Structures are given as structure tokens and as C-alpha cells.
Structure 1
Amino acid sequence: MESLFHPKGNQHIVDRIDKLTPIALSEWGVMTVSQMLEHCQLPLQVVYGTKEIKVNWIMRLLFGNKAKKQFTNAHPFGRSMPTAKEFKITHEPDFESAKQKLKELVTKFSREGHDAIKVTVHPLFGKMTHTEIDIAQWKHLDHHLKQFGV
């Protein structure tokens, strides 16, 4: 699996983001391409410490370990997985702004390395290593870029 920390892997994701157009259609799910671009920013903002989400402790206890394993293993995500309510985008963002912001957040991973990561205790998954964070972020971005055919 590629790494967002590694410049080559990071550039691969940015290049795929650049291939998106405002009229790209999803192969599954209900998000528009602009909503997906904004949605993908939110988990990055969580690990950068600029967005905070709260998870019910019961959810963390019941589902945290299982979800963490799913997000950090080598297997790709399945289609139409559930999304945390804090990550659902219900408005229609500006495509170019959302695209540019996502690219900035992605490049921060390789530009700043581990120093970019301010939050290593995920609200649902619990304590995470930098490697686990990298894998989860990569898989999430890859999943949604595939959703829109890139």
C-alpha cells in the first residue's frame, strides 16, 4: 500500500484528485463529486487537530476495535459503507474550492510528515500509530477516488 507520508505516494493521490471534474459521476453511493471532496477533508482535519468530533463511549466500546481493524488492514473498503454523521455533507460545495482544499490537506501529510499529525487518539478507534493513521487516510481517499472513477 502506498503512503501519504511518502512524496511519490502523496503525489499519486493528488494526481488522481486532479483528474476529477465537476461532472464526475459516482459509481456507487449518493454523494456528488463536490460533496466527496469536502467529505474527504474531514478525517484529515481530525488528525491535524483542526476538527473535533465526539463519539459516544458505548459506540467506541462496541465498535472501535473492529472498525480500527477494518480501516487499518490491507483490504480495500466495501462499497456504500456507513458514514459518521459529522462527515456527511448535505450542501453542495464549490467544486474548485473543495478540490484545492483537499489537495492542500493531502500534501501536508508528506510536506510536514509526522509533525502534521496532532491527534493520535481517534474518537472511535482509540490510540493509533502514525502508520495506522497513514493507512486509514490512504484507504479512505483511495476508496472515494475509486468511487468517482479515478
Structure 2
Amino acid sequence: MKDLFDPTLVEDIKQRIMRLHPESERQWGNMTLAQTLAHCTSGMQMAMGVINPKRASFPANVIGLLIKPLVFGDDKPMRRNSPSSPELFSADPTQCDLERERAQLIAAIDSFATKGATCCSHHPHPFFGPLKPQQWAILMYKHVDHHLRQFGV
């Protein structure tokens, strides 16, 4: 399984982030590139317990538990327009700067990868419920990969 505890994959993800540029075209969704990078940073902060979104309500929380084994069972990428927690969309597009958001995301990834399992949140994921550190690492890889693919890298 691909995860952000693997130094080779961390380096690959960071190289892909560096290939993004202001003209990178969005393939789906409606966030700007800078907003998307800020959203990915928020996801990393959630994985590290800096942000603790509230649990999704019924029936989403039950669906999350049911599909959890599928999401963590293979390396299949996340689907386009997958749902996400509202707390991870706080970035105001007028306040987002591409280079600053890029640097913050890379710093968050480095922090997560360096600290490893000890930095992972014990707070339940809003959709999937409780996650083990390895599951956080898999989910963070899939999440960042999903948004890099959204912008063609």
C-alpha cells in the first residue's frame, strides 16, 4: 500500500507539488490551485491532530465505516469529487498565495513523514471513524495524490 511514511513516495509527492504552476489546469472540482494546496495542508493537519473535524452525521458516518475496508484495501485512487469535511475548506481564495500554500503543504508532509506514527491523530476521522497511523498515512497519500491528479501532475 502506498503511504506517506514511505520516503520514496514522500519525495515523489513533493516533486509533483513542485511541478504545479499558476497555469496548471483543473480537471474537475471548483477550488483554485492555491485553495487546493491549502485544503491538502488542512488534511495533513487533521491527520496530525491539529484540526479535529466533527464526525459526519448519519448516514454518512455509517457509509464511511462500510467502505473503509475498500478504501484501505488497495492503492486505487480516490474518485473525483469525493466528499470532504467542511472544516478542510477554510481557505479564502483571495487570501491564498500559491507559493506560500505550496511551502506550507510541503512542510506539513515533511513533518508528518518525519514524525511518523507518533504524530497521528487519535481523533476519529469524520467519515471513516478511528484510524491507525498506517491508515492515516495511506489516506494522506491518496488525498494529496487525488488533488495532484486534479491539476494534472
Q: TM-score, normalised by structure 2?
A: 0.86
* Higher relative helix content: 1
Change (3 A) 1:98 1:46: same
1:70, distance to aligned residue in structure 2 (A): 4.7
Question: In the TM superposition, what is the alpha-carbon distance from 1:13 to its structure 2 partner?
Answer: 0.6
Q: Deviations over 1:109-130 (max 9, x none)?
A: 2211112213353233122122
* Structure 2 residue 130 is matched with structure 1 residue 127: yes
Residue 43 of structure 1 and its aligned partner are, at CA, apart by: 1.6
Q: Following superposition, which runs of at least 4 residues in structure 1 exceed 4 angstroms of deviation?
A: none
SS of residue paired to 1:58? coil
Pairing 1:11–2:11 present: yes
Q: Which moved more, 1:16-25 or 1:140-149?
A: 16-25
The residue aligned with 2:114 is 111
Instruction: Determine the C-alpha separation between the residues in 2 that align with 1:61 and 1:19.
Output: 36
What displacement does 1:61 show?
A: 4.2
In the alignment, structure 1 segments of 5+ residues that lack a partner are none
Paired with 1:122 and 1:142, the residues of 2 have a C-alpha distance of: 19
**From 96, 99, 103, the counterpart of 1:100:** 103
Alpha carbons of 1:108 and 1:144: their partners in 2 closer, same or farther (altered >3 Å)?
A: same
| Residue identity matched to 1:111 | T
1:42 CA drift (Å): 1.3
Aligned length: 150
- Change over 3 Å in CA distance of 1:28–1:61 after alignment to 2: closer
* Structure 1 residue 71, shift from structure 2 partner: 3.5
> Deviation at 1:87?
2.1
Instruction: Give % identity.
Output: 31
Which residue does the alignment assign to 1:147? 150
Q: Give the RMSD, CA atoms, in angstroms.
A: 1.9
Q: List runs of 5+ in structure 2 lacking aligned partners.
A: none
